[in-house]
Structure 1
């Protein structure tokens, strides 16, 4: 029964994307099917095979080791700060680890290890799906770098991007997360679901965006001249640049959490007074409950899970993850997996401004276009998150 509901959910998600399409005649159905199969194989291998479990355990081990090493740096600087009752401080124990992860990414980029991986995975995806090389490269790049950084990496190609191609590029950026903050996510929610979400969301963003904004590019136009190289002149400069970038990200996330959590409490207070104790999250839970049931969330947990998913859309993934963390012990593994995969993306209202602002800095005219289809972008990215979560639910 759960598998049947999951198939219905996938059909509904793809159907909505199809109805939103601005060029149904040119939809690359072969590419969509190939990517759906790739998602099914990825999820099957990761959740149901010994090979997949070994991969997840290995990657989790690497991240946990990095978290341990990063914590040593945080403890050296802040270890003397006393915290009452043994409580943990999110900024110290989670956000500041972003600095170390950003440093690792910067060094790997300087050593040309990441550029090599991204280039050839992108070429492989382009080959098997028929998608243009720029879009494929950007989708892979978005797994490792933040939405702004991924877009900046293809700025030399912006003159070749039609509005539909611009939509796909923006959707990949919004549907991804940055590897520099994956360690922070793993500190909050189960690592196996966070890690599986990375490739699933990459494919989901491309699937949904390819349906909404299909592209056809001639062989002459389908070229990519992107050099994802470090601006650093030495290994230690790369470390310094990464640390500074990580520090900025940590402070930005902290500032956004303060603003969003405080604003959410304010909205809930107003909402509760107007609707007799009914909160905004509860309302969002009921709105998202129907699709949550189709995605595979048990009926007894779907309202609370829908509230978390809705919170992520109107605030950001960190706010939702922190709220969901307290629910994890009391809900089923299936709900934990589905909701965690859904949360592991940048699909929220604030990302519209981040992406539009980044594009505006590269090309003002295209920045206005991104602002114009901002809501369509958010809907598409949210559908992508739902598709990834449904895929995970099929195998849980």
Structure 2
């Protein structure tokens, strides 16, 4: 009787249970916000995203057709006037961009070098395009435009800076949970040994990604990103889906999303899929880079910006010359995993990472050993003619120096960054990021900028630009991995994959470099007043000194004494700095300066 009653009223009971759960969550949410809203920020963000996503689905499902009918006259009118409206839009965008560029770079002319770098790479790709006459400029300009807009939001706007800084911190907090598992297995070894610090993060992240795939969360997110890029850039749903997947997964995992369709894709679409893999890094590997001390928000934004740029640059390097069989995303289905429950999905993800972890460790051992041998060989050969200081890094510093300089790196730092670019291209990004981590550590530890003629660290702006430039799997060691992995997924296209992979790798490298140029064009380092007062002489004509003095004067005057809050408290002789501000910056009439 109970069973039949439940079956008969299953719908009502379902709504009652969902209503109770919803009411309980609302009560919990309100209580969390009232008690400590700052602490509940992550909960608020996640709740808003979930509500927005569900609301969009419900509106689309129940009111989508009605809304479409309301806007149909406007759509028809727009399409009938598309020819001239398109040109109005293009002219408006170009004029606005030129005005912004002139106004913005008038304060920081060095940013124009980065813009010149973007133009240089676009011109080179155009000159070496496989089919110049067949280039469709819509994907190129829309892809670069989306990349620029994302970069502008992330790097320049206050909401973007706050959002990605917050996201980066949450990712770091999340990845720190790896220590619970790795410390249980390896004990105190995780404190000093790289393999026990960074590589377990890959296992943890892979396991989490597998769970998200099982739940369908990753497929949903990738499909939404893919849909947006497809309607704007105008690329086919299959290639767009794969490139969107590359934001989160690796160069051989993302094509699995479109496995049933690979055999029927055009050569240009396959080239785009390959380029997307080379231009981005997997989420699991990103976790390892974050553990090195590389800025998390820069890595995340670099991966997101690389997706539309990869489609744009790919269509410039290898334009579409065939008719794609895939024109609508409605026919594209993304499969879920075969796991039966969450525990199996977590275990499967952890097991799947074993090969990746072993591959990373083996490659690091091999490439660092090979690098040491090559350096010794160059030194021996150079010593024969009186130049024993020749190394692989030194050669790269001269070969890639123009590339680094055109990204916006200052001339005196461009040789150091050029070494990292060469290391990434000829060895791999792990070795390059490890070296960048060392440079960042030296800066934070206060080492001299140059010791024995060798640069010990680079500026914050150069660090950010370099982080973008290295963010991709494009290196010669990846060629075999991609050919093997992609050929296993679709054996009938092995010939096309093998013939396109080198061009795709070079194109993927250009994507990362264009990404770095955009970062160089947009990034403005914040003024570190504490460091400035530690290392600079007071100069009333220096605008930075004046800004910092104003900031210093915002400190609190408490009970008749001067005291300093926040980072100012750590400045040696801060009282002396305070009164120097009174003397040099026209602040002597401020009451506190009269003490």
TM over 0.5: yes
1:327-346, aligned counterparts within 5 Å?
327-328=439-440, 329=443, 330-346=457-473
1:357-368, aligned counterparts within 5 Å?
357-368=484-495
Q: Secondary structure at the match of 2:176?
A: helix
Match of 2:247 among 143, 146, 154: 143
Alignment correspondent of 2:399: 287
* Structure 2 residue 243 is the aligned partner of structure 1 residue 131: no
Alignment correspondent of 1:355: 482
Q: What is the distance in 2 between the residues matched to 1:30 and 1:227?
A: 27
Q: Secondary structure at the match of 1:271?
A: helix
* Structure 2 residue 389 is the aligned partner of structure 1 residue 277: yes
Provide, for residues 237-281 of structure 1, a one-character-per-residue CA deviation record: whole Å limited to 9, x for no partner: 001001112232222111111111111111111112112221111
C-alpha distance 201-221 of structure 1, shift in aligned 2 (>3 A): closer
Displacement of 1:218: 5.2
Q: Secondary structure at the match of 2:338?
A: coil
Q: What is the distance in 2 between the residues matched to 1:228 and 1:264?
A: 42
Q: Report if the CA contact (8 A) 1:95-1:250 is conserved.
A: yes
C-alpha distance 333-9 of structure 1, shift in aligned 2 (>3 A): same
Displacement of 1:219: 7.5
C-alpha distance 324-353 of structure 1, shift in aligned 2 (>3 A): same
Displacement of 1:141: 0.5
Q: Secondary structure at the match of 1:335?
A: helix
Q: Secondary structure at the match of 1:296?
A: coil
* Structure 2 residue 345 is the aligned partner of structure 1 residue 233: no
Alignment correspondent of 2:410: 298
Alignment correspondent of 1:179: 283
Q: What is the distance in 1 between the residues matched to 2:500 and 2:255?
A: 17
Which structure would you say has the larger Rg? Answer: 2
More moved, 125-134 vs 195-204: 195-204
Structure 1, unpaired ranges of 5+: none
Alignment correspondent of 1:378: 505
Alignment correspondent of 1:18: 126
1:84-233, aligned counterparts within 5 Å?
88-188=192-292, 189-215=294-320, 221-224=326-329, 225-233=332-340
Q: Secondary structure at the match of 1:265?
A: helix
Q: What is the distance in 2 between the residues matched to 1:17 and 1:30?
A: 16
Displacement of 1:284: 0.8
Alignment correspondent of 1:321: 433
C-alpha distance 226-349 of structure 1, shift in aligned 2 (>3 A): farther
Q: Report if the CA contact (8 A) 1:341-1:392 is conserved.
A: yes
TM-score (norm 2): 0.64
Alignment correspondent of 1:255: 362
Alignment correspondent of 1:48: 156
1:66-77, aligned counterparts within 5 Å?
66-77=174-185
Displacement of 1:44: 1.5
C-alpha distance 385-80 of structure 1, shift in aligned 2 (>3 A): closer
Provide, for residues 142-166 of structure 1, a one-character-per-residue CA deviation record: whole Å limited to 9, x for no partner: 1111111112221211122122221
Q: Report if the CA contact (8 A) 2:236-2:324 is conserved.
A: no
Q: Report if the CA contact (8 A) 2:167-2:297 is conserved.
A: no
Provide, for residues 83-116 of structure 1, a one-character-per-residue CA deviation record: whole Å limited to 9, x for no partner: 8xxx621111111111111111000000001101
Q: What is the distance in 2 between the residues matched to 1:108 and 1:210?
A: 31
Provide, for residues 46-65 of structure 1, a one-character-per-residue CA deviation record: whole Å limited to 9, x for no partner: 11222112211221122112
Q: Secondary structure at the match of 2:472?
A: coil
C-alpha distance 228-286 of structure 1, shift in aligned 2 (>3 A): farther
Q: Report if the CA contact (8 A) 1:140-1:202 is conserved.
A: yes
* Structure 2 residue 426 is the aligned partner of structure 1 residue 310: no
Q: Report if the CA contact (8 A) 1:193-1:337 is conserved.
A: yes
Displacement of 1:14: 0.7
Displacement of 1:370: 2.1
TM-score (norm 1): 0.95
Q: Report if the CA contact (8 A) 2:203-2:357 is conserved.
A: yes
Provide, for residues 287-333 of structure 1, a one-character-per-residue CA deviation record: whole Å limited to 9, x for no partner: 11112111100111101110011000001100111112111222111
Q: State how many pairs are aligned.
A: 392
Q: What is the distance in 2 between the residues matched to 1:68 and 1:360?
A: 36
Q: What is the distance in 1 between the residues matched to 2:115 and 2:177?
A: 43
Q: What is the distance in 2 between the residues matched to 1:133 and 1:255?
A: 36
Q: Which has the higher contact order (CA 8 A, sep 6+)?
A: 1
Q: Report if the CA contact (8 A) 1:134-1:223 is conserved.
A: no
C-alpha distance 233-76 of structure 1, shift in aligned 2 (>3 A): same
Alignment correspondent of 1:78: 186
Q: Report if the CA contact (8 A) 2:278-2:509 is conserved.
A: no
Q: Report if the CA contact (8 A) 2:265-2:324 is conserved.
A: no
Displacement of 1:367: 1.9
